[in-house]
């Protein structure tokens, strides 16, 4: 079953942008946006008829922009542009990323500032609706004049070149176009430039990481609540009065979510000799750390929503004034920053989760049996699961180093500052996968801790969290292979199973439109 998305003058919203990552989509275009496409194309045609010099239409590209192209070669110029820029290497982008890439490129072109014909827009729409997905190598873009190499591999399919994937099977572009009911296009003046200038590959990659981070984040909130019960922590740290005077929005939201989860906990309501007056930071400062991470993710969501609704090619057409202006909207710096911000947030979500796992395993800190298993010594319990968690946190710390501060000049110095947005965005999903494993380990340990402390009695809010874990991993009474259980719970985390329980989602803010 595919989801139908309606693109109007309002553009796309966060909910629409999630859909390509969930499966095939059907796109419907409002008449108003197709009319804007026609108006933009009229400006290009009129300028060519007047003999105006227009970058990328009748000139060379990049450092060769001062080379005038003969009118007889304008179509050949666009063809050669595409084939010369098909220089991507490495593993192909996943199908969901390519699907999102097509959607975001479509949202860009229908605004009428790119100068393409309606036929180009309709061909992209047909590919998306048929789920015929270009094979796009993942490496080769520096995120400067747009994602030139990835978008060239995408654009080539419209002309009958390259490869596509259809329902998981790879075939040639011509066969894919036939499945989509599209004839190969001969790209007109400006159309090749419009298709390959832009940030759609890096934006799609960053969106994939953003939505994965949301799932991991909410699982981290749910895991933190269950861990708080397992160690019989102090819920007073969640009091809304504490959060209110700090004034940080994310902190307030996370504390409220945690409070809902542990409300009426039979464990936390019970006093006993030796119960700590104050918990370690990994428990007590969850609202402060996780809240700050959420604020970063919300900021990144705003940036990426704006970018998904942007026009990022060059030159740009303004039909109301019948003007064509050259600029630099293709530069991927906003996306690079957003990717680095997501990386920072994911790194800390995982780091805090690992510290809670370490506390659960430390009998002196948790008051639970060593490594969460009876007859420790004969049994190792979750000792090595925590080691795996630590290894993944260390890996994420290395990956969190900012990519957005890097730049290598290209095109003989014409493109002398680049964003590195594409690999900045590509690496963040790997971090989300790592962090999902870290949170999965905590969930396993927290469920075990609740069993050991209170025979599985939990707060009503954490009960569904506990049950999700226990459906994949029974109580550990003696050592067994834990890796399959870690994989199963990690799949739940990345699949969004804990989203309703964490209950903290990105809001669509005015700043993000």
Q: Which residues are catalytic?
A: 55
Cα–Cα dist 277/236, whole Å: 10
Q: Which class for 285: exposed (0-12), middle (13-18), buried (19 or more C-beta within 10 A)? A: middle
Six token digits for residue 39: 């108006």
Show Cβ contacts of residue 408 under 8 Å, excluding neighbours closer than 6 positions. 142, 418
Kindly give the pairing relationship between strand 3-7 and strand 25-29: parallel
Residue 412, CA distances (Å) to 197, 229, 409, 417, 422 in order: 18, 61, 8, 12, 21
Residue 295, CA distances (Å) to 58, 336, 428 in order: 46, 17, 17
Contact 431, 396 (CB under 8 A): yes
Orientation of helix 31-50 relative to helix 118-130, angle to 10°: 140
Q: How many helices (H) and strands (E) does the chain have?
A: 20, 9
In the block, which residue shows the tokens 């990717």?
Answer: 339
Cα–Cα dist 153/164, whole Å: 10
Q: Which of 126, 114, 125, 149 is nearest to 423 (CA)?
A: 149
Show Cβ contacts of residue 410 under 8 Å, excluding neighbours closer than 6 positions. 142, 144, 418
Other CB atoms closer than 10 Å to residue 168's CB: what's the count? 7
Residue 241, CA distances (Å) to 188, 244, 257, 264, 279 in order: 63, 5, 15, 19, 18
In the block, which residue shows the tokens 């060239």?
Answer: 152
Residue 80, CA distances (Å) to 77, 85, 287 in order: 5, 8, 55
* Backbone region of residue 403 per phi and psi (left: phi > 0; alpha: psi in -120 to 50; beta: other values): alpha
């Amino acid at each position: 079953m595919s989801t139908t998305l309606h693109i109007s003058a309002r553009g796309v919203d966060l909910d629409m942008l999630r859909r390509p990552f969930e499966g095939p989509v059907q796109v419907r275009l409002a008449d108003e946006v197709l009319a804007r496409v026609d108006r933009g194309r009229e400006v290009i045609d009129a300028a060519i008829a007047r003999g105006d010099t227009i970058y990328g239409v009748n000139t060379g590209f990049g450092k060769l922009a001062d080379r005038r192209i003969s009118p007889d070669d304008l179509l050949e110029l666009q063809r050669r542009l595409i084939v010369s820029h098909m220089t991507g290497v490495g593993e192909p982008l996943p199908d969901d990323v390519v699907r999102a890439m097509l959607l975001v490129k479509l949202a860009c072109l229908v605004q009428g500032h790119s100068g393409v014909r309606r036929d180009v827009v309709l061909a992209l729409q047909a590919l998306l609706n048929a789920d015929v997905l270009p094979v796009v190598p993942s490496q080769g873009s520096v995120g400067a004049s747009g994602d030139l190499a990835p978008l060239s591999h995408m654009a080539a399919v419209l002309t009958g070149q390259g490869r596509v994937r259809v329902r998981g099977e790879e075939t040639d572009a011509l066969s894919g176009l036939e499945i989509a009911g599209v004839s190969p296009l001969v790209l007109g003046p400006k159309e090749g430039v419009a298709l390959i200038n832009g940030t759609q590959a890096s934006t799609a990659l960053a969106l994939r990481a953003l939505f994965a981070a949301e799932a991991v984040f909410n699982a981290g909130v749910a895991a933190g609540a269950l861990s708080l019960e397992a160690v019989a922590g102090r819920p007073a740290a969640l009091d809304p009065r504490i959060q209110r005077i700090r004034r940080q929005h994310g902190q307030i939201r996370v504390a409220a979510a945690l409070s809902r989860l542990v409300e009426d906990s039979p464990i936390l309501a019970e006093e006993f000799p030796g119960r700590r007056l104050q918990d370690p930071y990994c428990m007590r400062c969850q609202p402060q750390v996780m809240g700050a991470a959420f604020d970063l993710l919300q900021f990144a969501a705003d940036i990426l929503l704006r970018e998904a609704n942007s026009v990022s090619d060059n030159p740009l057409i303004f039909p109301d004034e019948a003007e064509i202006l050259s600029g630099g909207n293709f530069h991927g710096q906003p996306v690079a920053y957003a990717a680095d911000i997501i990386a920072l947030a994911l790194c800390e979500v995982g780091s805090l989760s690992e510290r809670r796992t370490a506390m659960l395993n430390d009998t002196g800190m948790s008051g639970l049996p060593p490594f969460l298993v009876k007859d420790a010594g004969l049994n190792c319990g979750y000792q090595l699961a925590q080691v795996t968690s630590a290894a993944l946190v260390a890996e994420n710390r290395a990956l969190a180093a900012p990519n957005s501060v890097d730049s290598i000049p290209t095109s003989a110095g014409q493109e002398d500052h680049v964003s590195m947005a594409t690999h900045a965005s590509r690496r963040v999903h790997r971090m989300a996968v790592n962090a999902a494993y870290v949170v999965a380990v905590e969930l396993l340990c927290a469920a075990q801790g609740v069993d050991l402390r209170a025979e599985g009695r939990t707060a009503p809010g954490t009960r569904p969290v506990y049950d999700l874990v226990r459906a994949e991993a029974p109580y550990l009474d003696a050592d067994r292979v834990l890796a399959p259980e870690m994989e199963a719970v990690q799949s739940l985390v990345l699949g969004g199973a804990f989203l309703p329980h964490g209950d903290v989602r990105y809001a669509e803010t005015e700043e993000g439109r």
